[in-house]
Copies of this chain bind each other. A is one copy, B any other.
Amino acid sequence: MPLTLATLPFEKEKDVVDSSRKILGIRLEKHTPLALERLLYRPRCPPVLRGAFTVHRASAPLKAIDDDKQISAMFPHVHHKPMVEIGFHDGEGPVTIGKPLRVGILFSGGPASGGHNVVAGLYDFLATRNVSSALFGFLGGPSGLIEGKYKDITEENLFRFRNQGGFHLLGSGRTKIETQEQLAAAFSTCERLNLDGLVIVGGDDSNTNACVLAEYIAKKRGKTCVIGVPKTIDGDLRNAYIEASFGFDTACKLYAELVSNLAFDAVSAQKVYHFCRLMGRSASHITLEVALQTHPNMAIISEEVAAHKQTLPMVVDMIADLVCERSALGKNHGVIILPEGLVEFMPDIKSLINELNEVLAQKASVNGTAADASSMGMAEEADEANALGDVDESVRVIREIARKLSKESADLLGALPPAFAVQLCMDRDPHGNVQVSKIESERLLAEMVEKELEKRKQEGTFRGKFSAVTHFLGYEGRCGLPSNFDCNYCYVLGIVAGGLIENGHTGYLARAIGLTQAPELWRVGGVPLTAMMRMERRKGHDTPVISKSVVDMAGPVFQTFKKDRQNWSLSDEFRIVGPMQFYGDGADALTFTMEISE
Contact = CB atoms under 8 A, between A and B. Distances in A.
Contacts of A419: 419
Interface stretch (A62-70, A297-305, A388-396): A388-396
A597 interface: no
Interface stretch (A494-502, A518-526, A579-587): A579-587
A167 B32 contact: no
Nearest to A585: B33
A10 interface: no
A173 interface: yes
A481 B581 CA distance: 12
A268 B584 contact: no
A94 to B, nearest CB: 39
A171 interface: yes
Contact of A264 (B479, B575, B576, B579): B479
A36 interface: yes
Contact of A391 (B34, B35, B391, B578): B391
Given A37-B585, A395-B391, A578 B268 contact: no
A31 B578 CA distance: 11
Could you say which of A389, A573, A585 has the most chain B C-beta atoms within 10 Å of its C-beta? A389
Contact of A33 (B35, B268, B589): B589
Contact of A111 (B111, B268, B577, B579): B268
B264 A168 contact: yes
Could you say which of A172, A254, A265, A417 has the most chain B C-beta atoms within 10 Å of its C-beta? A265
B581 A583 contact: yes
A475 interface: yes
A167 B268 contact: yes
A267 interface: yes
Contacts of A269: 110-111, 167, 171-172
B34 A586 contact: yes
B575 A32 contact: yes
B171 A268 contact: yes
Interface stretch (A185-193, A255-263, A366-374, A553-561): A255-263
Contacts of A459: none
A476 interface: yes
A26 to B, nearest CB: 12
A478 interface: yes
* List of 3 A-B pairs having minimum Cβ-Cβ separation, nearest first: A166-B264, A33-B585, A33-B586
